[in-house]
Structure formats: structure tokens, C-alpha cells
Amino acid sequence: MIKEIILPDLGEGIDGAEVSDVTVSVGDVVGSDDIILVLESDKASMEIPADVNGSITEILVSAGDELKPGHILMKIELSGDAPKEKVPVEEKPQKEKPTPEIETIETIETIETIETIETIETKRHLEDLSFGNTVFASPGVRRLARELGINLQVIKGTGQKNRITKNDLNNYIKLQMAISSGSIPAQKQDVDFSQWGEVEVQKLTRIKRITGQRLQQAWQTIPHVTQFDNADITDLDNYRKKLKTKAAEQDIKVTFLPFLMKAVTIVLKEMPEFNSSLDHADQNLVLKNYYHLGIAVDTPFGLTVPVVKDVDQKSIIDLSSELMDLSSRARQKKLKPDEIKGGTFTISSLGGIGGTGFSPIVNPPEVAIMGVSKSDWKQVYDKATGEFHPRFIMPFSLSYDHRVIDGASAAAFTSRFASALCDLSYFKN
């Protein structure tokens, strides 16, 4: 029996990937775990297994092809054990959101047919002020342009005698909306920097290009606020040192990160809106009862965010060893698609590098992200004794989507997180 091998769903936010290597040829006999294809997506290089046993009869893709989930990759003559048929995951049809574009068209129609209540004097004054005599446009077009603060002189008319039609205005509005939402980049001028000195041109990696687009979109569409705070991790540092020495015997490196992850899940359980997403229409909050943390990893190809699942159910040692594995495979582009999806909250730690604070960008569809900076010894005043004591202080920040989270909740979150780091009982099992 001949079966088609189909590209599975590649994970959250990945709607396509490029074939970087086809690792089999027609006639090859493969097992279900054998890799038949290597893809490069925005976040990682992904190895696609055959998923069935058999002999390849036809290869329908080649290096350089851009693929989307559902694409037929190869045909295979099945053999041996019955294939592990996977139930295809059907994409739920996205409900159409009324787009501002449609609303704009309706507004234009309405304005053209309904008399406004502006006085004639006001109209005349505004028309003289804004548009002068060189622009030809109907009163309806002028009125809408005036309401939206659009100077008609910047629009090229396509009607008779260069008259600006309703369509011209409409197209101009659509273009401006696309530019401001980031879907069309504003036109940039190519600058010849070599006129001022020697230059070198480096091609951006695919991960950098796509991450850049996603960051820009997140920055433009999410109203960000960042809350800064400090945590006293003196006792935690002592405890970590002991655990680190013990874990080193098993070749496991215990850094601060697993403790931070554990403490974050404690606070997420207490404040569930931080572990949520807005639905597609921005009308409902989807609260998640699982705690999968994305961890930003710096790789030679750019930023990658593998996801550690069910952090609340894992020990510090389990988390440490999982972090070592995920960050090392991220740096070799060896993450699997399901290892970079399903995150509910992200931590970006620059604590091993330096800095006193930064404001990370929320990783959609999540609504909050924590940024961790390098801890340092500080003299802290003890009100009870009236003395200063050296304490190990970790600066951290929380950027959040202000549509979902209020400033007061964010301040409560960071305070609670700081206090959780002082309670070592959370980390002892």
C-alpha cells in the first residue's frame, strides 16, 4: 500500500519552513523514526521523521522549497508493522474579525449620505485651512479626510482632472494602516554608508529575520509596560551552591534559572491572568491550567525560545538537566517542533552576562515575560537593627500586555515573586 507522507503542524507561530536537506532517496527503506527531511524554520532546524515503515517510492520536495503544514512530502510503500497512523490535526477555521478596513468603507458611505451637523461656517473655515484650491475631491471625501486628519494634498487622485475619489482615499487609509501595523514596511531609502568609511555587509540569518518581524509585530500591537523590582537571593544563593556541588557529581549544572522558573509557576498559580492569552477577537481571556515556560536562549543564529513543559511538576534537578539539554540543542539547531510551542509565560535571563535591568518584549500569544539581570552584593538597611548588611540582590523586570494586566497586579506579581525566592521550602522537592 502506498501512503503519502504529509508535513505535520510545525508549532505555534510557524506557518512555513524551508527544506534544507532531503536525507533519503527513492528506493530507501526507512523505519518510522528515520529522518527523511531537515527543515529550517524561523526558530530552529527541524528533523522530520518518516513516521511509518516502508520504502520511499517518490520524493516531491527538494532543498530550498518553502513548505507549509499539510504539504505532501513523499510517497512510501508501507511494509512490516501496521503504520502508526496519526490523526491529522485539523486547523480550526479562524473566525473573521471585522477589519477596520470594512469599517472604514462603511464610514465613507455613511458620511457621503448623511448630512453632518457641522455649521457651514466651520466647514468653510476648515476646508480653506486644510486643503486650499488645488485639490479636487467630493464633499464626502473632504469631510472624511478632515475627520481623520488626512491632508488630501498628499494623495494622488485617479479621477478626472486628478480628482481624488473615494477609492483613492480608501486605498491611502489602507496603506497607512498596513504600514503602521507592520505588515508593510514603510519605504526606506538605501543609504550608501561606504561614502563615509569602510563597511562590511553581513546577511541576517533566517532566524534573525523572522524573529525580528515577530518582535516588531509584538512591539507594535501589544501595549507594553515594564515593572522593575529586586529580589534578595542571599539564602537562595547559599542553598544553590550546596545543590550545585551535589548535582555536579551527576554532571548537572544548577544555575539560578530553575529556581526562578519554579518561583514563577508558584506566582502564576496564584495570579492566573499572567498565564493566559487573549482570544482571536480580543474578547475573552483564555486562562491556562498548565505551566509551560519559554526560556530565551542566545544562539549563534539568533534568539530561540524552547519551552519547558509542566515546570510546576518538576524538581530543581530535573529542570536543570532539561535546561542544559534544551539550551545545548537550541544552539545546535536541533530542537523539535513541539519543543518550541505551547509556552504560557517566558523568562529571558541575562543574569549570566550582566546588566542591571532591561525591558523584554512580550512573546505573543503570551501576556507577560520576565527579564532577569545579574545579581550583585549590596548594603541593605535592616530597619529592626538599624544596621546595614551585605545581601545578594537580583534585579528583574516584568513586561506585560496592559490590555490584560493592570499595573497594580504587575507590582503584586513582582513582589510575590521576590518573596517566593526567599522561601526555600518551595525548592526542596
Nearest-5° Cα angle at 105, 102 to 111: 140
Tell the smallest beta-carbon distance from residue 213 to ligand CAO (Å).
15
Among 152, 316, 372, 398, binds ligand CAO (CB under 6 A): 372
Among 24, 37, 256, 265, binds ligand CAO (CB under 6 A): 256
Q: Which is nearer to ligand CAO, 173 or 210 (CB)?
A: 210
Cis-peptide, bond into residue 272, ω within 30° of zero: no
Tell the smallest beta-carbon distance from residue 187 to ligand CAO (Å).
28
Letter for the amino acid at 265?
A: T
Q: Within 13 A of 19's CA, how many CA atoms are on the CB side?
A: 22
Q: Considering the rule CB under 6 A, would residue 222 count as an interface residue with ligand CAO? A: no
- Binding-site size, ligand CAO (CB under 6 A): 20
Tell the smallest beta-carbon distance from residue 303 to ligand CAO (Å).
5
DSSP letter for 204, please. P
- Exactly one of 71, 224, 280, 402 is catalytic; name it: 402
Active site residue 71: no
Q: Considering the rule CB under 6 A, would residue 304 count as an interface residue with ligand CAO? A: no
Q: Considering the rule CB under 6 A, would residue 351 count as an interface residue with ligand CAO? A: yes
Tell the smallest beta-carbon distance from residue 43 to ligand CAO (Å).
13
For ligand CAO, the nearest residue by Cβ is 351
Tell the smallest beta-carbon distance from residue 294 to ligand CAO (Å).
11
Q: Which is nearer to ligand CAO, 137 or 335 (CB)?
A: 335
- Of the listed pieces 146-154, 286-294, 344-352, 407-415, which binds ligand CAO according to CB under 6 A? 344-352
Q: Are residues 144 and 114 in contact, defined by beta-carbon separation less than 8 angstroms?
A: no
What Rg do the C-alpha atoms of the chain give, in angstroms? 28
Name, in order, each residue with C-beta under 8 angstroms of 170's C-beta and a sequence gap of 6 or more.
Answer: 104, 105, 108
Q: Which residues, numbered 261-300, are part of the site for ligand CAO (CB under 6 A)?
A: 295-298
How buried is residue 422: exposed, middle or buried, by Cβ count under 10 Å (0-12/13-18/19+)? middle
Among 255, 277, 409, 419, binds ligand CAO (CB under 6 A): 255
Whole-angstrom distance, CA of residue 206 vs CA of residue 203? 9
Q: Considering the rule CB under 6 A, would residue 368 count as an interface residue with ligand CAO? A: no
Whole-angstrom distance, CA of residue 351 vs CA of residue 255? 10
Q: Considering the rule CB under 6 A, would residue 350 count as an interface residue with ligand CAO? A: yes
Whole-angstrom distance, CA of residue 15 vs CA of residue 209? 15
Whole-angstrom distance, CA of residue 370 vs CA of residue 227? 9
Q: Which is nearer to ligand CAO, 37 or 263 (CB)?
A: 263
Q: Which residues, numbered 76-105, are part of the site for ligand CAO (CB under 6 A)?
A: none
Tell the smallest beta-carbon distance from residue 397 to ligand CAO (Å).
10
Closest of 397, 396, 398, 345 to residue 367, by C-alpha? 345
Q: Which is nearer to ligand CAO, 111 or 420 (CB)?
A: 420
Q: Are residues 74 and 58 in contact, defined by beta-carbon separation less than 8 angstroms?
A: yes
Q: Which is nearer to ligand CAO, 56 or 307 (CB)?
A: 307
Q: Which residues, numbered 319-338, are part of the site for ligand CAO (CB under 6 A)?
A: 323, 327
Closest of 337, 339, 308 to residue 47, by C-alpha? 337
Q: Which is nearer to ligand CAO, 35 or 393 (CB)?
A: 393
Between the alpha carbon of residue 89 and those of residues 2, 120, 122, 195, 409, the distances in Å are 21, 61, 59, 54, 37
Q: Are residues 415 and 396 in contact, defined by beta-carbon separation less than 8 angstroms?
A: no
- Of the listed pieces 12-20, 182-190, 198-206, 251-259, which binds ligand CAO according to CB under 6 A? 251-259
Q: Which residues, numbered 374-413, are part of the site for ligand CAO (CB under 6 A)?
A: 374-375, 394
Q: Which three cell numbers stand for residue 199?
A: 563597511
Tell the smallest beta-carbon distance from residue 237 to ligand CAO (Å).
8
Whole-angstrom distance, CA of residue 77 vs CA of residue 1? 6
Closest of 79, 70, 78, 93 to residue 17, by C-alpha? 70
Tell the smallest beta-carbon distance from residue 295 to ligand CAO (Å).
6
Q: Are residues 66 and 40 in contact, defined by beta-carbon separation less than 8 angstroms?
A: no
**Site residues (CB under 6 A) for ligand CAO?**
255-257, 295-298, 303, 323, 327, 348-352, 360, 372, 374-375, 394
Q: Which residues are catalytic?
A: 402
